[in-house]
Chains A and B, each alone.
Chain A
């Protein structure tokens, strides 16, 4: 194996940030200046160190680890700053209650180890009651021959006894001080009271020791808040057939809907995560316009999305979580199903269902309902809100629209942006006699106007800026087509079309 090192630039000083096994065998350690390293190993290959890329890779790995448990997070690199064996990136997994799914604690660790090795990582794994103890065991109690160590429940005190103080996630200075004072093993610290330790090594040392021994609680903040309702499907071997994936999704949905029914809730947002055998993962998210736990409806929403799932070399685990839920009272669903079976084709029964289906295929928010806005400026006179998201009953007559100013003087189509036209008017305040729009010359035969609209000075929108006053004219050309033109600061624009 070629000796390889990552080189970091620390204030102009090139030092090694990480080394591979071959370089380590040659006597190189992280933190060594590059010049010295080159003297030791002339054939050393160096690559610039990219901390951001490292962080991304470890975050992706943490996301993948959610196949074991939703509580997975990358170790913050601030901990264990020391460049020795304790340095480097890490992952923390809270596997409470998950181990039996994988055949026990040791089986889980070995499975994880085997998979990580297959991805090309060399990993050391430790499992213990506390986060601190697991961190210490993984970094200081493992070896290349025994990469997995499990501390039996309640045994962390004995297990940690022979480890160095560096295993406590302490700053390098503190560790050095302990070393100078002859405290080389953690068991040396056990008899010392907090009153003795704190003035010399700081509160952090006491804190870390207590955390590692389980006398103080420490919780893991996961990468992503796990879904309150989560179902999981583990395949015996990687699956890539779309039909199989669809079937698995159906199964997951049925489980999830049963769970939701027990909890009396409906899903507003679902997340389907597929863990691929190459260690990457794929996510499909969909939202519903109203809480739902109708497996049939939700399955149809996923049917539109499933083709986007790239199975790669196969999917090993799929999880489906309801990331957003809302209370949904129990309701009778069986009757509707019979009704469905009785004849209606597989279509949306109700507007919200239709909105969900359209949204899931065309993109969230592509179905919108117009709402009146109090503004006399044509482009601001209405707003589009995502349909079905509000509680207003759909189809209800909306009296607001009666207040639309001059609806008959407004065009049926409003161009998104007024288009400049070359227009010719006989007198300054007259409507145009002819105008050229999109390269076609229109002779104006009839015209009506002007209707003067002023910018809304009370609205200070830095993006749109001040809208100067406009004189609008309705005009009809020699073919009978009607247009809405306006003149603003001496220029003519076409803004809309009439029927």
Chain B
């Protein structure tokens, strides 16, 4: 990395952008005579090795999310395993179901990729995860170990302990904050689980679910996690033959991910098929909230209520 930065400083100056790095390095590699394409590929591989840290020389196992748009954006074609992933909500100071829903969706995908039925350690300060609903998400509640901790420090400690136990598939912690040091520790522990378990691929994957009970005073600390997602609930659309409330829709913002560029998607989660699909809002290219017509006004509501159906 330091070599690249030096190159960047020499050729493009301090203001060179991300695109400038590869170009400059390609220019530097052009000199020995190899073609630019070969140089680029070699350099990309080198960068990937650097970015994967301890896992250099090996490809990190991934759990494909089953949606081409998402998988293409993630390094290695899926959610990297044996790593720490942060999930936060838009209005994180409130109890938010969307972050939890996305986290469970990821766990379900992880299960699908590695159906070895390792247990899942769920550490929380408030034990309000509702096990019977897990069955509806395609997860077996019997595989969950629910841990009740009294403070954030205990949550983080329990997560780290869990990451050392190879019999787990994943650890999930509901944390109020995750500073750089704590994130780094978890990330290293997750990577170590990957290194030692040569036989059972996958290692132990950690998820930090941000859940604040107080508003955030200052900005978030820089994160050491491999990826960081922001999940925002989006209005669902009912489909004919389905229940009136459609499948959950989320706007996913990949805020940062080592080895990948940030991105935004609006997805729909189908728990029966255990898969994501792109929500129509994105198919036509618009990411913004879709127009809702008259809803919000009394007349619009009355119109909506004509459509209420009884649950069978």
Contacts and interface: CB of A to CB of B under 8 A. Distances in A.
B269 A347 contact: no
Interface in A367-400: 367-372, 378, 381-382, 384, 387, 394-398, 400
Interface in A333-380: 343-351, 353-355, 357-358, 361-362, 366-372, 378
Contact of B308 (A362, A369, A448): A448
B136 A497 contact: no
Most chain A CB inside 10 Å of its own CB: which residue of B142, B147, B308: B142
Given A400-B142, A499-B101, A446 B136 contact: no
B50 interface: no
A77 interface: no
A307 interface: no
A445 B301 CA distance: 7
Given A343-B196, A414-B128, A408 B271 contact: yes
Contacts of A416: 126-128
Contacts of A405: 132
Contact of B161 (A357, A371, A381, A479): A357
B149 A366 contact: yes
B158 A412 contact: no
Nearest to B143: A395
A30 interface: no
Given A357-B161, A358-B158, A497 B100 contact: yes
Contact of B145 (A355, A372, A412): A355
Interface residues of B, number: 74
B117 A395 contact: yes
Contacts of A394: 119, 167
Contacts, number: 230
A446 B127 CA distance: 28
B12 interface: no
Contact of B136 (A343, A407, A447, A481): A407
Interface in A136-172: none
Most chain A CB inside 10 Å of its own CB: which residue of B149, B245, B295: B245
Contacts of B167: 349-351, 354, 394-395
A345 B192 contact: yes
B130 A348 contact: no
Contacts of B161: 347-348, 354, 357-358
B212 interface: no
Contact of A412 (B129, B143, B310): B129
Nearest to A434: B301
27 contacts: A347-B166, A358-B147, A362-B158, A370-B146, A395-B117, A398-B140, A398-B141, A401-B141, A407-B133, A407-B137, A410-B130, A412-B100, A412-B129, A412-B134, A413-B129, A426-B302, A443-B295, A445-B235, A447-B305, A448-B243, A448-B245, A448-B308, A449-B308, A478-B296, A481-B233, A499-B97, A499-B269
Given A344-B196, A362-B158, A446 B244 contact: yes
Contacts of A482: 97, 233, 245, 248
A401 B137 CA distance: 12
The 10 closest A-B pairs by CB, nearest first: A499-B101, A347-B164, A407-B136, A398-B142, A497-B97, A370-B131, A480-B233, A408-B136, A414-B130, A410-B133
B190 to A, nearest CB: 12
B310 A450 contact: yes
Contacts of B271: 408
Contacts of A487: none
A35 interface: no
A450 to B, nearest CB: 7
Interface in A403-461: 404-416, 426, 430-431, 433, 438, 440, 443-451
Chain A interface category by residue count: 35 or more
A476 B142 contact: no
Given A412-B100, A426-B301, A478-B295, A446 B144 contact: no
Given A358-B158, A426-B305, A476-B236, A348 B164 contact: yes
B220 interface: no
B19 interface: no
Interface string B149-193: 110001001100111111110000000000000000000000010
Interface string A278-301: 000000000000000000000000
A405 B135 CA distance: 10
A384 B124 CA distance: 14
A479 B245 contact: no
B60 interface: no
B1 interface: no
A276 to B, nearest CB: 28
Contacts of A398: 140-142
A498 interface: yes
A369 B158 contact: no
